[in-house]
Amino acid sequence: MIEGKKFRIYPTLKQIAILLLWIGHQRFIYNCKVQEDRYFRKFKSKALSLVGESIPCDQQYSQFIGADTAFLKQVPSQILRNGVFRWKSAYQRFFKRLSGRPTIKKKYGRQSVMITKELFTFCSVSPKTAMIKLGTKKHPVGHIEVNVHLDYKVPATIYISVHGGKWYVSFSNEDALPMVAEAQLLEDLQYLSKEQLAEVTSGFDRNVVAPLADSNGKTFDYTHRQKQSLKKAHKGKVKSQKSLSKKKKGSANRRKAVKKVSVYTRKTSDIHNDFAHKTSHAVTEAPGSLLVFEGLQIKNMTASAKGTTAQPGKNVRQKSGLNRAILNSVWGKIKAFTKYKGLKKSKLTIEAPAPYSSLECHRCGCTHTDNRPTQAEFICHDCGFKCNADLNAALVIKKRGISRILNNEIIFKVPKKVSFRRKSGRRAGAVRSDAATSKPAERVSDISAPKADMQFSVKQETPTRTAATV
């Protein structure tokens, strides 16, 4: 299986300036390809003569280098090429219906640059330290220290990213441990009886007070220190955002304010990831081979309550606080991390229906609004069973998950893979006409050429390519 690695790196100020230049130039080429694609699609929709013609979807970028964009030559050509490769990979995901069309990359938030083996070499210094040599003779960067805390193999491609002032290097390696297919694990579980499934199954209730509670009576929550850090980071971010709104656009003070906001955003993200990884590790280390999570529509639950101008929302402040509490619980991350970690240990992760799981008695099945008089207490209105409300909900989720296994209600889809030929000049699924195959479309290398310069040839009936503006 493929396993990702992510390490901290410590570039110098001079190296940071060069890396930021690489990131910006690769983002520029990526955005140029996005704009060019939008232009061709819009032009084709308004030209009758282009019906049946395929829109170019290649990895050419020379048309973006001209007199007005001479700054692109300040970085190695591989950086620009990799920007086009990232755009093409994103489009292939769109063709496989794994994501939307590539969109413009912004200059704020987490930024990264893709670097191939022509531009870097790894060398080990000590068991916990390594060095990356970046650059070429014409564009040198130097050696950057890497804090290594996991075993790794030297990859062919790395990504260097920056978020909130901290720099990271990430890549993927082939793990020696094979990942068991979900379909195989499901088939093995379906041979078990109801009593046997109950012994190997754990149910997990997700809520705001304690992000996760299992059917064995254990709860998973942030430590007191983490809660204080989250609260402090939220207050700092709100204060920085207010200060940012008063800064003049384009000024140095505004750039400083943006960096300050990103620091608090990264701090919150680090705490979330740390909690999700530790919780998922503890869940997968526990005995049992079936993990059943409460199925929640997190995206719908955290939808905005602002409404529209005609129909404004109600209780907007309360809803924003609830949304923040839900997102701080990192339900989605915990489940995603548990899923891939569980597959390494031959454990299956599924979801069970969530409606009325907090009001249903796991012993007799009675569902009533009076069964939960308080947030933490559950008292069955019918049989009188008493226990912690989160524990009862986890037991109900466990019961529903076992029922789904026995009734064959779980179907796993075959994961889609993205693959493409790099030399392909047309989009997947497009019908190639004789006019399109007779002669390739002419390319215009001037980045400043106006869109009106696109013309048609009587023989080709294909628009010549112009550069897009970003």
Averaged pLDDT, 120-138: 91
The confidence score (pLDDT) of residue 338 equals: 94
Segment among 174-178, 299-303, 401-405, 414-418 with least mean pLDDT: 414-418
Question: What is d(CA 211, CA 205) in angstroms, rounded to the nearest whole number?
Answer: 8
Using an 8 Å Cβ cutoff, are 240 and 258 in contact? no
38 pLDDT band, cuts 50/70/90, is very high
- The yes-or-no verdict on residue 468 having pLDDT over 60 is no
pLDDT, mean over the chain: 84
What is the residue extent of each domain of the chain?
A: 2-176+433-453, 191-221+260-406
Q: What is this structure's pTM?
A: 0.76
Question: What is d(CA 184, CA 181) in angstroms, rounded to the nearest whole number?
Answer: 5
The confidence score (pLDDT) of residue 376 equals: 87
The confidence score (pLDDT) of residue 416 equals: 65
The confidence score (pLDDT) of residue 178 equals: 66
Averaged pLDDT, 40-52: 80
Helix (H) or strand (E) holding 314: none
DSSP lists the bridge partners of residue 378 as 387
72 pLDDT band, cuts 50/70/90, is very high
- The yes-or-no verdict on residue 249 having pLDDT over 80 is yes
- Which position has the token pair 């050429």? 449
The confidence score (pLDDT) of residue 54 equals: 80
The confidence score (pLDDT) of residue 430 equals: 45
The confidence score (pLDDT) of residue 415 equals: 65
Tokens of 358: 């907090």
Beta strands 201-205 and 290-295 are parallel
Averaged pLDDT, 362-374: 88
CA distances from 45 to 38, 51, 93, 279 (A): 11, 8, 23, 51
Query: Whose CA is closest to 293, among 279, 275, 278?
Result: 279
The confidence score (pLDDT) of residue 321 equals: 84
Find the largest Cα–Cα distance for the chain: 84
Q: What angle do CA 214, 212, 285 make, to 5 degrees?
A: 60
